[in-house]
Chain A
Amino acid sequence: MFSSFRQAMAWLHTWFGLVLGFVLMAAFFFGALSVFDREIDRWTVPTTRIAPQPMPSFEQVLRPAFERMHPTPAAIDAMRPRVDGAMPQHFDTVVNWSAYTTHRDPVLELYAGYEVPNAKDPEEAIWAYGTIDPRNGKALSDDQLKIGSGFFYPMHYSLTLDWKNLGIWIVGFSALMMLAALVSGVIMHRKLFREFFTFRPGKARLRSVLDLHNLTGVVALPFHFFFAFTGLVIFASTYYFPVGQTQLHGLHELHEQVEAQETGLPHDRAGVPAGLASVDAMVAEAQRRWAADGKAGDVGFLMMQHVGDANGYVSVYRAGTDRIALVGDGIHFKASTGELIRVDPPATPTGRVSEFLTGLHLQHFRHWLLRWFYMLGGLAGAVCIATGFVFFVEKRKRQHAQRGSQGARIVDALAVTTVTGMLLATLGILVANRLLPENLPARGDWERYAFWCIWALALLHAAWRSAPVAQGRANPAWREQCIAIATLALAAVVLNGITTGDYVWRTIATGYWPVAGIDLFLLCSAAVACLTARALKRRASAAQSRIADMGMARV
């Protein structure tokens, strides 16, 4: 089928890059936004615009908040098919309470798992989720969608297609194809290198597009490779190759038993009720031990297993703000007495590699410059993919115009939708977030509808305006959507000021960077979109006058 390996790689790069490029664009762009997901949360939930808080006192804040939690009616309904007989309405046996925070979180996420007495799988618990203000334990409304961590972040790895984890598989396959595109791109590049020195004046624009494609691909090549790869590794044993849960379940069980023996952390309840010693004292003891090891002592994750039982234990994990590797350094205490059960030993060499790769992708560290580099790396990936689309279309549209084929036209319309359309949808959800009434029921759902509706409109607009591409000219939708981007970005900044009083000059003056940073980024985006629209207009009128000149020459 192919006369050489290089030709096969070129075919692979072109076609898989094109088809999965649409998915990869979303993965890279929303991944870049997820670097600042907590900051986007602050922008979209104005009541939480407060400074990040440490893990609060268990006795004063967490315990009352945990005791108020209960599974939602929706969660109870979802569980119904997996129980024998009637579904209980109250869940009194707490399997697990846990609280999670990071150095960028002013709010605290709580999780509570309860035993379901007649569940078909006795190990399966029913879960309740909550978010509280850690200063006073007050619960925050579930109707407030955290657009950064609750929408853009899942978009990054699952496109929010939750049915049978379909989105996770699509993104995973696309990540594998990203790796294939990088390898095949490098193999193609050796030949392209020679072609760089071939002067082709008539194709100047094509070359500049290709240059940008190569530049953004090559400069950030290690970044692209490692992010696609670590993303796959993070999900591999849970979703893509669940060997330990299926084929090698026996080996996994064996390991669990050995581990329970070694760690002394009880796997099951004893069935004997027991009280709870001071958890705050246990946390203080854990912090004292970390400090003795010279490690930063913020608690990231606090967990209570078998609550109210004699086998109950408390695990305190460190927030890994001081290193790239995603570490826990867990310390475990007996819940009823507070006596130390175990200190997690240092990781094995393999474990350290695993922690490093996971931490590299998930970024729990505290380093703002590095965080911005991640963002720029992600955007470079998006530019690389976008210029790939443009190159595909530019290279073919004249041939297709002569042959009367619609191929380039369709690809171009889809490219408009995935590049400028995706930006419009993203800005649209921010604008909707500021415009929808504060107490609207299911407000988060409405925000999501706004996002998808705007994206669908962008597709319709791109398709409606695409006719010139079939004649070898440019689609005006690129320019028009750039103008719309500039408008929406400005609108988001202005609406944020009007609805919350946090005008951009005020947040800058008070140094509240989570919101000021997003507003400034939106303003920069508006400026870039304006400049792009102007450049596209100049180019369009230049092309127009060239056609007019040709017409004159013929006369």
Chain B
Amino acid sequence: MSNTLAVQGSSATRLRVASRVAAAVLGGYVFAWGTVAAVTGLLSATGMEFHDAEFLGAVAGLLAYLVAFLCTVATRRLAMAWLVLLGAGALMTAAASFVQSLLT
């Protein structure tokens, strides 16, 4: 049973669990930050009031964090999860800064 994995597992299992949890928590946060920034930036660019855009960005980012977290815990390809979370997170963050540089 999976429940006992973390308790009884060898050190290799523990390492796998730790890596998966780190990907879900830290990778998920980077991905969520990117989502918040991109949604806030892009909606501001469409002329939406900043605090409205910020609110929708936060809502989207929190839901993105939740989905990313669940998927990362369940995925079979952990390396892929790291890549997607950090890659997409960085890309969206950069996009937000780019939009800002155009507007200000």
Chain A interface residues toward B at CB < 8 A: 1-2, 5, 7-12, 14-15, 173, 176, 179-180, 183-184, 229, 232-233, 236-237, 240-241, 243-244, 247-248, 250-255, 348, 350-351, 353-354, 407
Q: Which residue of A lies closest to B19 (CB)?
A: A1
Further 16 A-B residue pairs, CB within 8 A, beyond A243-B54, A251-B50, A351-B52? A2-B2, A2-B74, A8-B73, A11-B3, A183-B70, A229-B62, A233-B58, A237-B55, A237-B58, A240-B58, A243-B37, A248-B97, A351-B55, A353-B55, A354-B52, A407-B7
CB pair A5–B74 under 8 Å, yes or no, is yes
CB pair A247–B70 under 8 Å, yes or no, is no
CB pair B40–A244 under 8 Å, yes or no, is yes
CB pair A241–B49 under 8 Å, yes or no, is no
CB pair A251–B66 under 8 Å, yes or no, is no
State whether the Cβ of B85 lies closer than 8 Å to any Cβ in chain A: no
CB pair A233–B55 under 8 Å, yes or no, is yes
State whether the Cβ of B61 lies closer than 8 Å to any Cβ in chain A: yes
Question: In angstroms, how far is the closest chain A Cβ from the Cβ of B84?
Answer: 17
Q: Given A11-B2, A176-B62, A176-B66 in contact, is the A251-B32 Cβ separation under 8 Å?
A: no
Q: Which residue of A lies closest to B52 (CB)?
A: A350
Question: In angstroms, how far is the closest chain A Cβ from the Cβ of B98?
Answer: 11
CB pair A254–B59 under 8 Å, yes or no, is no
Chain B interface residues toward A at CB < 8 A: 2-3, 5-7, 16-17, 20, 25, 32-33, 36-37, 40-41, 44, 48-52, 54-59, 61-62, 65-66, 69-70, 73-74, 76, 93, 96-97, 100, 103-104
- Tally the A-B contacts, defined by beta carbons under 8 Å: 118
Question: In angstroms, how far is the closest chain A Cβ from the Cβ of B3?
Answer: 5
Tell which of B6, B44, B62 touches A233, judged by Cβ atoms closer than 8 Å: B62
What are 27 A-to-B residue pairs whose CB atoms are below 8 Å? Answer: A1-B5, A1-B17, A7-B2, A10-B2, A11-B5, A11-B6, A12-B70, A183-B70, A184-B70, A229-B62, A232-B62, A233-B58, A241-B32, A243-B40, A244-B40, A244-B54, A247-B93, A247-B96, A248-B97, A251-B40, A255-B50, A255-B51, A350-B52, A350-B56, A353-B55, A354-B51, A407-B7
Considering residues A1, A184, A244, A350, which has the most beta carbons from chain B within 10 angstroms of its beta carbon? Answer: A1
Question: In angstroms, how far is the closest chain B Cβ from the Cβ of A349?
Answer: 9
Question: In angstroms, how far is the closest chain B Cβ from the Cβ of A462?
Answer: 21
Secondary structure class of chain A's binding surface, majority of residues: helix
Set of chain A residues within 8 Å of B3, measured between Cβ atoms? 10-11, 14-15
CB pair B49–A348 under 8 Å, yes or no, is yes
CB pair B58–A236 under 8 Å, yes or no, is yes
A251 to B33, CA, bound (A): 16
CB pair B104–A251 under 8 Å, yes or no, is yes
A2 to B33, CA, bound (A): 28
CB pair B66–A236 under 8 Å, yes or no, is no
CB pair B73–A12 under 8 Å, yes or no, is yes
Set of chain A residues within 8 Å of B54, measured between Cβ atoms? 237, 243-244
A176 to B63, CA, bound (A): 9
A183 to B20, CA, bound (A): 19
CB pair B20–A179 under 8 Å, yes or no, is no
Question: In angstroms, how far is the closest chain B Cβ from the Cβ of A285?
Answer: 27
Q: Which residue of B lies closest to A255 (CB)?
A: B50
CB pair B36–A241 under 8 Å, yes or no, is yes
Set of chain A residues within 8 Å of B33, measured between Cβ atoms? 241, 243
A509 to B2, CA, bound (A): 58
A195 to B59, CA, bound (A): 36
Considering residues A7, A241, A350, which has the most beta carbons from chain B within 10 angstroms of its beta carbon? Answer: A241
CB pair A251–B74 under 8 Å, yes or no, is no
Set of chain B residues within 8 Å of A254, measured between Cβ atoms? 50, 103-104
Set of chain B residues within 8 Å of A253, measured between Cβ atoms? 104
A184 to B20, CA, bound (A): 17
Q: Which residue of B lies closest to A405 (CB)?
A: B7
CB pair B37–A248 under 8 Å, yes or no, is yes
A233 to B54, CA, bound (A): 10
Question: In angstroms, how far is the closest chain B Cβ from the Cβ of A419?
Answer: 22
Question: In angstroms, how far is the closest chain B Cβ from the Cβ of A13?
Answer: 10
Tell which of A14, A241, A250, A407 touches B58, judged by Cβ atoms closer than 8 Å: A241
CB pair A251–B44 under 8 Å, yes or no, is yes
Question: In angstroms, how far is the closest chain B Cβ from the Cβ of A8?
Answer: 4
A354 to B51, CA, bound (A): 10
CB pair A1–B58 under 8 Å, yes or no, is no
Set of chain B residues within 8 Å of A2, measured between Cβ atoms? 2, 74
A236 to B49, CA, bound (A): 18
Set of chain B residues within 8 Å of A183, measured between Cβ atoms? 66, 70
A350 to B61, CA, bound (A): 16
Q: Which residue of A lies closest to B62 (CB)?
A: A232
Q: Which residue of A lies closest to B66 (CB)?
A: A179
Set of chain A residues within 8 Å of B56, measured between Cβ atoms? 350
Set of chain B residues within 8 Å of A9, measured between Cβ atoms? 70, 73-74
Q: Which residue of A lies closest to B78 (CB)?
A: A1
Q: Which residue of B lies closest to A172 (CB)?
A: B62
Considering residues A8, A176, A232, A243, which has the most beta carbons from chain B within 10 angstroms of its beta carbon? Answer: A243
CB pair B62–A247 under 8 Å, yes or no, is no
Tell which of B16, B36, B66 touches A1, judged by Cβ atoms closer than 8 Å: B16
Question: In angstroms, how far is the closest chain B Cβ from the Cβ of A300?
Answer: 20
CB pair B55–A244 under 8 Å, yes or no, is no
Set of chain B residues within 8 Å of A240, measured between Cβ atoms? 58
Q: Give me the 10 closest cross-chain CB pairs, A-B, nearest first.
A: A236-B58, A255-B50, A8-B74, A350-B52, A250-B104, A241-B36, A354-B55, A11-B2, A5-B74, A12-B73
A7 to B103, CA, bound (A): 47
Tell which of B25, B61, B100 touches A241, judged by Cβ atoms closer than 8 Å: B61
Q: Which residue of A lies closest to B17 (CB)?
A: A1
CB pair B66–A180 under 8 Å, yes or no, is yes
Set of chain B residues within 8 Å of A179, measured between Cβ atoms? 66
